[in-house]
């Protein structure tokens, strides 16, 4: 059974203390993907498919593909458009259930749970960093917390 997944999803907390992912799924099976943090910002477009409560994302750009006009030479100056340079990705194209995809997510109750790129296993928890110690005066400043993208708009 496939559910209506249109809407905008955002990370519940910053992954590794830095990175926030936001995905806007549109009703025409296209999406806008945004990941930012730690001096990095990536925005990509693509198409998605849903099968058995799994969301498959395929980017329009291929792995490592960058726009042609990223580097311009004007006289003795070299101008690099870092915004366009960052809008590339390193996700390999994979195939499952006859669907080509770069990323996949499990859909459950207005949430998207990410699959690990290397192992293909569902990521249930991620590291969350905080300014507080686990105990009043000592202990780590990070802990494991349920990791997913939460639906923020319809």
**Domain-located, residue 1:** no
**Domain-located, residue 2:** no
Angle subtended at Cα 26 by Cα 120 and Cα 108, rounded to the nearest 5 degrees: 45
pLDDT, greater one: 55 or 79: 55
Q: Could you tell me what percent of the chain has a pLDDT over 90?
A: 32
Q: What is the mean pLDDT of the chain?
A: 79
**Domain-located, residue 23:** yes
**Domain-located, residue 34:** yes
Task: Tell me whether residue 134 is exposed, middle or buried, using C-beta atoms within 10 angstroms of its C-beta: 0 to 12, 13 to 18, 19 or more.
Answer: exposed
Query: In DSSP terms, which residues pair with 91 in a beta bridge?
Result: none
- Least confident range from 69-73, 77-81, 116-120, 124-128: namely 124-128
pLDDT for 129 equals: 54
Residue 44 CA to residue 22 CA, distance in Å, equals: 11
What is the tens place of the pLDDT at every residue in 40-72? 778 889 999 999 999 999 998 775 556 566 677
Give the mean pLDDT of 104-116. 89
**Domain-located, residue 33:** yes
What total number of domains does the chain contain?
Answer: 1
Q: Which residue segment(s) compose the domain that 38 sits in?
A: 7-153
Q: Say if residue 30's pLDDT is above 90.
A: yes
pLDDT for 8 equals: 95
**Domain-located, residue 103:** yes
Local structure of 69: helix, strand or coil: helix
Within 8 A by CB and 6+ apart from 31, the residues are 23, 24, 25, 45, 46, 47, 48, 57
Model confidence at 1, pLDDT cuts 50, 70, 90, reads: very low
**Domain-located, residue 55:** yes
Give the mean pLDDT of 14-19. 66
pLDDT, greater one: 72 or 29: 29
């Amino acid at each position: 059974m496939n559910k209506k997944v249109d809407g905008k999803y955002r990370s519940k907390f910053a992954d590794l203390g830095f990175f926030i992912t936001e995905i806007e799924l549109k009703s025409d099976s296209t999406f806008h993907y945004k990941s930012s943090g730690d001096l990095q910002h990536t925005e990509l477009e693509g198409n998605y498919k849903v099968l058995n409560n799994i969301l498959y994302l395929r980017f329009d750009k291929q792995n490592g593909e960058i726009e042609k006009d990223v580097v311009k030479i004007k006289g003795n100056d070299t101008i690099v458009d870092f915004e366009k340079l960052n809008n590339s990705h390193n996700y390999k194209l994979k195939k499952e259930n006859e669907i080509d995809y770069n990323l996949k997510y499990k859909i459950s109750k207005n949430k998207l749970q990410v699959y690990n790129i290397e192992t293909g296993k569902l990521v249930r928890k991620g590291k969350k960093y905080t300014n507080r110690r686990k105990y009043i005066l000592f202990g780590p400043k990070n802990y494991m917390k349920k990791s997913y993208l939460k639906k923020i708009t319809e």
